[in-house]
Structure 1
Amino acid sequence: MKIVQLTKNDWVIFMSAEEDYADKHFDQVVNKTEHLLEHYPNQVDVNFLKAKALMKLKRAAEAQQILIEFRDEMSQNSKRVAQMIQMSLENSCFMFARELNSMISSDYEAKILAAENQYRTVNSAKLIEQAKQFAHIGSLGVCNQVKGVEDARKLPLSEYLLAAKTVLSDPFLWQVTKTQVLLELVAVQVSDQVTLNWLDKQNYHIQLTRLKPVNQYASLTTVFQIIEARYTASDPIKLQLLEGELVTQSNYIYPFFDKVISDPQYWVKATIAQSFGDTIAANTESERAMLKWLATIHQAEGQMNMM
């Protein structure tokens, strides 16, 4: 995300908004930051100040969405992360708070645990219903599954993990939903074992500590590097289309990239052929296996579009 620095005049407006925040004129803060964001939509300091003001105005959902959207950029500042964790706990977004905690050297685990326990005490019936809804997310359509996964980030860790185990073992659930749940568990650094009913409909017992974020799997990153080298200069539109296709693929085959992409060069050729209506020969058992995986992904994606 490209960050544009404020001009001198706009910096004066920002400083004025900070003074308004200190003076508790939170509506003025929102007005001034929204004016600045018309010209600098990705400016981190402006977005964070707006989020803080929205929290004071009891517009918690809007504030939290800003924190989620700019999580990676905002978390570059450890002092800011501490405030983001506090805001997220006030909004009962416990898993998101844990994501933030895992990104910094300071440890707010005790504070998060205390907030989770307090939430359990005050909202026990609501929490049971929230966890139940997440565990049975497979009964929903695709769009509602996406929303359900996002809503589940409000759960305390224990309830999230218990429901997630049901989600991951569901043979009828959309694979992309399972991937997003797995990645959430990886992001908060859970140390536990889960059973994943994967793309091939087989069950795999997975130790979560052995999993990595998507961008740390060499077979996948090599594929991205190949298409970037080939198309960045010559055909950026094709590059964008292929990158989108690779992201879709990754959502189906995580975490077994090395199992599926045995030859990154061939995988790129096959993906290009499939994306643009061409055919490609398979001369080895490995290549035939990769074509089968691509067909499986394509079939699963087609079924998803009918849900």
Structure 2
Amino acid sequence: MKTIAQLITAGETAATAGKWSLAASQFEVAYQQEQSYVLNLKLVTALCHTKKFMQASELALEYEADYLKTDQTADVLIDCLCQSQQFIQARLSAQQRAKIAPAWLQATKKQLSVAEQLAETTMQQTLKTTMKQFYHLSDLPVTGQMTRLAAAKHLTYAKYLTAAKFLLVDPFLHQLSRVEVLYTLKGLGVESPVTFQWLDETSLTVVPNALPAMGQDHVSLAVQAALQQQLAHQDAVLYESLQGLLSLQLMYLYPSPEKIVTSAQSWVALLIGSQTGQLSPKLTVSEQKMLDSQQKIQQLNLELAQ
């Protein structure tokens, strides 16, 4: 049995000779034994030469941040995604690279547009079907919604944006799915206002690109700090458990937790009380509203398991 070093050497020799299928097989066996970005890049490059773009893109995304550090490797990732018709993911990755290389983004946008135009011509029926399924996201249980959200990343930017604007105000869509769509628009850098149905079923007008990162607005940071202050040193096990639950609550409240969280300390106290069965029998009006929202979130969470 070859060692990892021998497999890599064999793969590099095959690649130099243009035997990309052999190179890919050698790199793949090596990668199964030891994962690293350097080996990932060799395997992805070989897979692209053998036109196995879907497998290549899935592997490349395991090291997305590393690929996006240079123009050359970012081009490899974007090309893989375009060739496998993952246009939304390609744009999301490109926007990440744009934070440190805005000039690179301009040329890449042209590449993305050309790839999407080609898809509109050669995959017209497939795109039409995917878009129709995306539009009817709320027809499915939540688990099915997640699958279709992933499939929708094969839509072109224009088609995704059109359907997304409808889904953001679909009253039958699960709130986490609505948030996922909105957060995708943020990742895409959408600068035009959109209407979004918030947790309390009221409408917000927001500019996705101007929204804060999930959990990084001042209210979210305050409640995370309050949880740490109240529990981290008193009950580490409960603190760790409630950290995950709090993060999920903040997803439901995105992008405007300040609409309901009037006191970070009270929100956390209510969270702890409801989870430990020690809720105070006397709550203020604002505390009761916060508790009602927490209970609504809990009910929506139950739907995730159905």
**Partner deviation per Cα, 1:195-244 (whole Å, 9 max, x = no partner):** 22222122223232332220431221333344456666776543432222
Which residue identity lines up with residue 68 of structure 2 in the other structure? S
**Partner deviation per Cα, 1:10-35 (whole Å, 9 max, x = no partner):** 66765654444444344444444443
Provide the C-alpha distance between the structure 1 equivalents of 2:140 and 2:29, rounded to a whole number of angstroms.
Answer: 36
Q: CA RMSD in A?
A: 2.7
Which residue identity lines up with residue 87 of structure 2 in the other structure? F
Report if the CA contact (8 A) 2:78-2:90 is conserved.
yes
For 1:102, what is the secondary structure of its paired residue? helix
Structure 1 match to 2:54 = 61
User: Alignment length, in residue pairs?
Assistant: 296
Provide the C-alpha distance between the structure 2 equivalents of 1:70 and 1:277, rounded to a whole number of angstroms.
Answer: 43
Provide the C-alpha distance between the structure 2 equivalents of 1:182 and 1:228, rounded to a whole number of angstroms.
Answer: 29
Report if the CA contact (8 A) 2:23-2:46 is conserved.
no
For 2:222, what is the secondary structure of its paired residue? helix
Structure 1 match to 2:120 = 120
Structure 1 segment 56-135 matched on structure 2, within 5 A: 56-104=49-97, 105=101, 106-107=104-105, 108-135=108-135
**Partner deviation per Cα, 1:174-211 (whole Å, 9 max, x = no partner):** 11111111111100101222222222122223232332
Point out where structure 1 has 5 or more consecutive residues left out of the alignment: 1-8
Report if the CA contact (8 A) 2:4-2:33 is conserved.
no
Match of 1:45 among 23, 38, 42: 38
Structure 2 match to 1:4 = none
TM-score (norm 2): 0.85
Structure 2 match to 1:3 = none
Which residue identity lines up with residue 52 of structure 2 in the other structure? R
Residue 35 (structure 1) aligned with residue 30 (structure 2) = yes
Which residue identity lines up with residue 294 of structure 1 in the other structure? Q
Structure 1 segment 1-307 matched on structure 2, within 5 A: 14=8, 17-23=11-17, 24-40=19-35, 43-104=36-97, 105=101, 106-107=104-105, 108-228=108-228, 237-280=237-280, 283-306=283-306
Structure 2 CA distance for partners of 1:280 and 1:195, relative to 1, 3 Å: same
Provide the C-alpha distance between the structure 2 equivalents of 1:47 and 1:215, rounded to a whole number of angstroms.
Answer: 31
Report if the CA contact (8 A) 2:185-2:209 is conserved.
no
Structure 2 CA distance for partners of 1:273 and 1:190, relative to 1, 3 Å: same
Provide the C-alpha distance between the structure 2 equivalents of 1:62 and 1:25, rounded to a whole number of angstroms.
Answer: 15
For 1:70, what is the secondary structure of its paired residue? helix
Provide the C-alpha distance between the structure 1 equivalents of 2:231 and 2:63, rounded to a whole number of angstroms.
Answer: 29
**Partner deviation per Cα, 1:252-301 (whole Å, 9 max, x = no partner):** 11111222323222222222222333324665443232212111211222
The answer to which of 132-141 and 11-20 deviates more is: 11-20
Report if the CA contact (8 A) 1:37-1:46 is conserved.
no
Structure 2 CA distance for partners of 1:141 and 1:57, relative to 1, 3 Å: farther
When Rg is computed on C-alpha atoms for both structures, the one with the higher figure is 2
Report if the CA contact (8 A) 1:223-1:264 is conserved.
yes
Structure 2 CA distance for partners of 1:20 and 1:124, relative to 1, 3 Å: same
Provide the C-alpha distance between the structure 2 equivalents of 1:15 and 1:274, rounded to a whole number of angstroms.
Answer: 59
Provide the C-alpha distance between the structure 1 equivalents of 2:155 and 2:237, rounded to a whole number of angstroms.
Answer: 40
Provide the C-alpha distance between the structure 2 equivalents of 1:175 and 1:225, rounded to a whole number of angstroms.
Answer: 25
How much does 1:96 deviate?
0.9
Structure 2 CA distance for partners of 1:36 and 1:232, relative to 1, 3 Å: farther
The answer to which of 237-246 and 150-159 deviates more is: 237-246
Provide the C-alpha distance between the structure 2 equivalents of 1:276 and 1:51, rounded to a whole number of angstroms.
Answer: 49
